[in-house]
Amino acid sequence: MKRTLKFSPLLLIILLLNFSCSKDDDIQINLKDLKVTVDENPANGQVLGQVQTDNNSSLSFSITAQTPAGALAIEKKTGKLTVADAILFDFETNPTITATVSAEGAQNTAKITINLNNLKELTTEDFSVTIDENPINGDTIGIVQATSDGTVSYSLLSQTPEGALNINTSTGELTVADATLFDFEVNPVITAIISVDNSGNTQNVTATINLTDVNEVSLQDFTTTIDENPVNGQSLGVVQVTGGEALIFNITSQTPNGALSINANTGELTVVDATLFDFEINPVVTATISVDNSGSMQHLTATINLTNINEVSIQDFTATIDENPANGQSLGIVQATGDGTLSFSITSQTPGGALSINASTGELTVADATLFDYETNPAITATVTVDNAGNTESADVTINLTNVNELSIQQFNTTIDENSTNGSILGTVQTNGIGILSFSIASQTPAGALSINASTGELTIADATLFDFETNPTITANISVSNSEGIETAIATVNLNDVNEIGEFKYGGVIFWLDPSDISHGLVCTVSDFPIIGGWGCQGTNIAGAIGTEIGQGQANTTAILAECATAGIAADIASNSTSGGYSDWFLPSKDALQEMHTHRATINNTAVLNGGSNLASGVFYWSSSQNDSNTAWLIYFDNNGAAFFLNKGTAGSNIKMRAVRAF
């Protein structure tokens, strides 16, 4: 049997209410704390997190307190936390943001903690500027402004027209990359997007360059070629410009710096520093020139090509010497270099005429020693020019004089014949000094040859035997002169002339006679006798040309004998055919010449033996070339007396000798 329970509506409502109340009283809801970390500087509305319950119940959430006030907002139904005021999310001001969140029906409140990360912050500004059209490459346009607490880098993301701009990645400086694009008629506005980066934090800025339309002039780049080493102020030419009025020219840059200048009104270029116009260092000199046309600026390039030329360089010359030098004394050589033939000259000097210079070597010498006086001219100066194929350079010459003891002495030189006599005057040693001078010979070679007058300085021969050319061709002495100021020394040199002397071996034989009027002439005899086979010759024949007996007639006698008597082996024949000593003009001596040989026989013998010959024989006869008559001729008997005899021309034998002679 089926039973049905029936409830009244009122009873059912009461039961449901009891059930519901019992359930609410039994369930407890708790909020969970929320702790998050975010970067500073978020955006308003950015979600930071969501407040959770322990059983994910849906409640009605609200913020009951927060520090700083107004920083956070919460979505009432979901508990989602968002940024309410982004400017409060600044690490430097509020490194931590806190709040208390409550919810209806929750048993507790939730603690909210937002920790901020410190970021490298970056602020930027768009860039805008207005400039004249037609700038030059590299011109600065301006600097993109950005602030940050770290390192900022810049880059161009895009630009219109492309390639117009450059940016310095470190400084943000904008410069002209392609000046041809800065043309008002083509691109009145140039734009770019620039990225600014701060350790990954990037912002983009817009750069806008507005061009001003200017009254343009027509410019021509300037090019010329000149020789290196111009002079300062030399004109290089005029920059050519068409159009415009009241133009102003200026050099904005040049390489090398300081080489050029330009006339602001005319555009004439000139050399400012000629030392920079050196082909080896700067073969090309360049400049960028601006032309200002009533505030409108245009630019052109100037190019100066240098030609390499034969160069010359010269060094200033400075020397210090004692005053009172000698004329011709070398002062030194002016140093100069060049790749050609150098020519030196003195273009000016003070005092005039003091110096001379070797045109080829540059050697400076004393021209007028009297000007080298410390009291009058303590310094001698000159300008020396060196020329290298028309390329000239000049140098300053300075000769500083040292003040010295004014006592001076000159070197003494003289030349005399050997064999002078004792007491002969050689000359006077020249000196210059004040007060009483005293002369002395400090040393001499050979010792004892010279003497000097202590008061006058006159040199004389002390020992004539030492004045022998063969033994002492030069005699020297050290001469001292002194006064109250000091002492000076000089060398005296006496050079001897070699003169002909009796007994000298010269001219192929031994000198036995000298011409009294000119001792450069005389007679020599052979160093040895000649054997006689055929006697004098021409027995019974009168030879009229052979009767001379005086010195100097032997040659004529011999010639006459040979002309009349052709017999071989006679004395004249043997003499004339001799080549003794390398000579071939020997002859028989005349009677008097033979007598002179007898007089000097001891001297002749000494020299003859020393030179490979023999003594004149003693106690024998020597033929002369002098005929006595048709049957006899003269001989000299060589004993102590040297008497003259005449014998038959045909006489021969061991006691009959002949010695040939020749003239010089």
CA–CA gap between residue 288 and residue 300 (Å, rounded): 6
CATH superfamily, domain 408-497, is Cadherins (2.60.40.60)
Indicate the CATH number of 318-323+341-402 among 1.20.120.550, 3.60.10.10, 2.30.29.30, 2.60.40.60: 2.60.40.60
The DSSP H or E segment spanning 576 is: helix 571-576
**Residue 471 has which token pair?**
């033994």
Residue type, 157: L
Is the pLDDT reported for residue 629 higher than 60?
yes
Closest CA to 116 of 61, 38, 44: 38
The pLDDT assigned to 480 comes to 96
Is the pLDDT reported for residue 339 higher than 90?
no
CA–CA gap between residue 617 and residue 529 (Å, rounded): 8
Q: How confident is the model at residue 405 (pLDDT cuts 50, 70, 90)?
A: low
CATH superfamily, domain 218-307, is Cadherins (2.60.40.60)
Lowest mean pLDDT, pick from 115-129, 160-174, 438-452: 115-129
Q: ∠ at Cα 190 (189, 195), nearest 5°?
A: 140
The DSSP H or E segment spanning 17 is: helix 9-26
> Residues 410-430: what's their mean pLDDT?
95
Closest CA to 479 of 498, 497, 454: 454
> Residues 233-257: what's their mean pLDDT?
92
CA–CA gap between residue 458 and residue 425 (Å, rounded): 7
- Biggest CA–CA distance in the chain, Å, is 229
Is the pLDDT reported for residue 497 higher than 80?
yes
**Residue 619 has which token pair?**
């106690």
Q: What is the pLDDT of residues 207-217, one digit of tens each?
A: 999 999 876 67
Q: How confident is the model at residue 3 (pLDDT cuts 50, 70, 90)?
A: very low
Q: Where are the domains of the chain?
A: 34-117, 122-212, 218-307, 318-323+341-402, 408-497, 505-663
* Neighbouring C-beta atoms of residue 358, cutoff 10 Å: 13
Q: Is residue 130 within 8 Å of residue 210, measured between CB atoms? A: yes
> Residues 371-400: what's their mean pLDDT?
94
The pLDDT assigned to 27 comes to 65
Is the pLDDT reported for residue 641 higher than 50?
yes
Angle between helices 591-599 and 601-610 (to 10 degrees): 80
Among positive and negative, which fits the CA dihedral 130, 133, 134, 137? positive
Is the pLDDT reported for residue 25 higher than 80?
no
The pLDDT assigned to 26 comes to 52
Q: How confident is the model at residue 56 (pLDDT cuts 50, 70, 90)?
A: confident
Beta bridge partners of 192: 159, 207
Q: What is the pLDDT of residues 523-539, one digit of tens each?
A: 999 999 998 878 999 99
Q: How confident is the model at residue 122 (pLDDT cuts 50, 70, 90)?
A: confident
CA–CA gap between residue 366 and residue 372 (Å, rounded): 8
**Which CATH class name applies to 34-117?**
mainly beta
Q: What is the pLDDT of residues 544-580, one digit of tens each?
A: 999 999 999 999 999 999 999 989 999 999 999 999 9
Beta bridge partners of 635: 623, 645
Closest CA to 663 of 570, 590, 603: 590
Is the pLDDT reported for residue 594 higher than 70?
yes
Q: How confident is the model at residue 486 (pLDDT cuts 50, 70, 90)?
A: confident
Beta strands in 592-643 (DSSP E): 620-627, 632-638
In SS3 terms, 218-283 reads as EECCEEEEEECCCCCCCEEEECCEECCCCCEEEEEEEECCCCEEECCCCCEEEECCHHHCCCCCCC
Topology (CATH level 3) of domain 122-212: Immunoglobulin-like (2.60.40)
Which carries the bigger pLDDT value, residue 566 or residue 492? 492
Closest CA to 552 of 612, 603, 626, 462: 626
Q: What is the pLDDT of residues 132-176, one digit of tens each?
A: 998 999 999 999 999 887 799 999 999 999 999 999 999 999 999
Q: How confident is the model at residue 55 (pLDDT cuts 50, 70, 90)?
A: confident
Which carries the bigger pLDDT value, residue 309 or residue 565? 565
**24: three-class secondary structure by DSSP:** helix
CA–CA gap between residue 393 and residue 110 (Å, rounded): 98
The DSSP H or E segment spanning 596 is: helix 591-599
> Residues 488-497: what's their mean pLDDT?
96
**Residue 517 has which token pair?**
């009027």
The pairs formed by 106-110 with CB atoms below 8 angstroms and a separation of 24 or more are 106/29, 106/30, 106/31, 106/53, 106/59, 107/28, 107/29, 107/30, 108/30, 108/31, 109/31, 109/64, 110/31, 110/32, 110/33, 110/34, 110/51
The DSSP H or E segment spanning 558 is: helix 554-564
The pLDDT assigned to 174 comes to 97
Give the pairing type, strands 218-219 and 201-212.
Answer: unpaired
CA distances from 93 to 39, 41, 67, 90, 97 (A): 14, 11, 12, 5, 10
Among positive and negative, which fits the CA dihedral 557, 560, 564, 568? positive
Nearby residues of 324 by Cβ (< 8 Å), 6 or more positions away = 369, 372, 373, 404, 406, 408, 432
Is the pLDDT reported for residue 243 higher than 80?
no
- Model-level pTM? 0.39
**Residue 22 has which token pair?**
């019992």
**Residue 127 has which token pair?**
């860039």
Q: Given this chain, do its domains 122-212 and 408-497 carry the same CATH topology?
A: yes
What length does the chain have? 664
